């Protein structure tokens, strides 16, 4: 096998992150959670006290992001995800981050990238494209379980409303909206556990290798 790329897209909380990690481990590929790159821009803007809609500042911050120094613990906070979807509507931010993501995708022996626009924009020639989804209700419940596992608490109604707002922003934006690529395999994980979802994805990748 030569260079191999797997593109995984879908809305927040669909299980793409876990699936991407398991596929990368199984097939010995590099892994990039592209959501972390948007989160890193948002986090830096907040830390600098800059408004999230300051396109010029956000572009400068995006050009400075180092993919090797993304701290998942800090960036996984719920509020950072919300802010990330606001900087993600800025085309100059997307261009800066997509350049870095494409460079990563070219690393040897290949890579798994997960996000919102991997199959459509970042890696349109990916060997396998998966569009992973689940109902908003199921995704909200999974988010709550994650928050509780870290010792926190959250209201289902609040998380559900945040998820619906984020879906609307990600699917409705003009630049690179979240949508399945024409040649993506659709995987609805609403009724699947992590293991079943991974096995379904693995089978699709095996068939493409």
Known binding-site residue numbers for ATP: 10-18
Distance in angstroms (rounded) separating the CA atoms of residues 39 and 87: 9
Q: Does 81 bind ligand C5P (CB under 6 A)?
A: yes
Q: Does 116 bind ligand C5P (CB under 6 A)?
A: yes
Q: Does 184 bind ligand C5P (CB under 6 A)?
A: no
Distance in angstroms (rounded) separating the CA atoms of residues 149 and 7: 28
Which one of 117, 136, 139, 142 is in contact with ligand C5P (CB under 6 A)?
A: 117
Residue 19 CB, shortest distance to ligand C5P, in Å, is 12
Nearest-10 Cα torsion for 127, 28, 23, 175: -50
Q: Does 84 bind ligand C5P (CB under 6 A)?
A: yes
Residue 102 CB, shortest distance to ligand C5P, in Å, is 12
Which one of 7, 29, 35, 59 is in contact with ligand C5P (CB under 6 A)?
A: 35
Q: Does 162 bind ligand C5P (CB under 6 A)?
A: no
Residue 56 has phi, psi (to 5 degrees) of -65, -45
Peptide bond into 109 cis (omega under 30): yes
Q: Does 7 bind ligand C5P (CB under 6 A)?
A: no
**Pick from 18, 7, 65: nearest CA to 204:** 7
Q: Residues comprising the binding site?
A: 10-18
Are the beta carbons of 31 and 20 closer than 8 angstroms?
yes
**Pick from 178, 100, 87: nearest CA to 132:** 178
Q: Does 129 bind ligand C5P (CB under 6 A)?
A: no
> Residue 15 or residue 35: which is nearer to ligand C5P going by CB?
35
Q: Does 110 bind ligand C5P (CB under 6 A)?
A: no
> Residue 84 or residue 184: which is nearer to ligand C5P going by CB?
84
Q: Does 14 bind ligand C5P (CB under 6 A)?
A: no
Which one of 14, 29, 34, 104 is in contact with ligand C5P (CB under 6 A)?
A: 34
Close Cβ partners of 104 (under 8 Å, ≥ 6 residues apart): 30, 32, 67, 111, 113
CB atoms within 10 A of CB 171: 12
Q: Which residues bind ligand C5P (CB under 6 A)?
A: 12, 34-35, 38-39, 81, 84-85, 88, 115-117, 166, 170
């Amino acid at each position: 096998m030569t260079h191999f790329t797997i593109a995984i897209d879908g809305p927040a909380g669909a299980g793409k992150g876990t699936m991407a990690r398991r596929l990368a481990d199984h097939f010995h590929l590099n892994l990039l959670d592209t959501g972390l790159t948007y989160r890193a821009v948002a986090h830096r803007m907040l830390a600098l006290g800059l408004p999230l809609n300051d396109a010029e500042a956000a572009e400068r911050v995006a050009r400075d992001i180092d993919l090797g120094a993304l701290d998942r613990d800090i960036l996984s906070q719920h509020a950072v995800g919300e802010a990330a979807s606001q900087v993600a509507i800025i085309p100059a931010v997307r261009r800066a981050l997509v350049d870095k993501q494409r460079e990563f995708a070219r690393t040897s022996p290949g890579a798994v990238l997960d996000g919102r626009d991997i199959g459509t924009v970042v890696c349109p020639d990916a060997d396998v494209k998966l569009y992973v989804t689940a109902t908003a209700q199921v995704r909200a419940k999974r988010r709550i379980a994650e928050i509780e596992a870290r010792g926190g608490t959250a209201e289902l109604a609040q998380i559900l409303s945040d998820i619906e707002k984020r879906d609307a922003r990600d699917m409705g934006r003009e630049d690179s909206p979240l949508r399945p690529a024409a040649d993506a395999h659709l995987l609805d994980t609403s009724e699947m556990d992590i293991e079943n979802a991974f096995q379904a994805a693995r089978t699709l990748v095996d068939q493409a290798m």
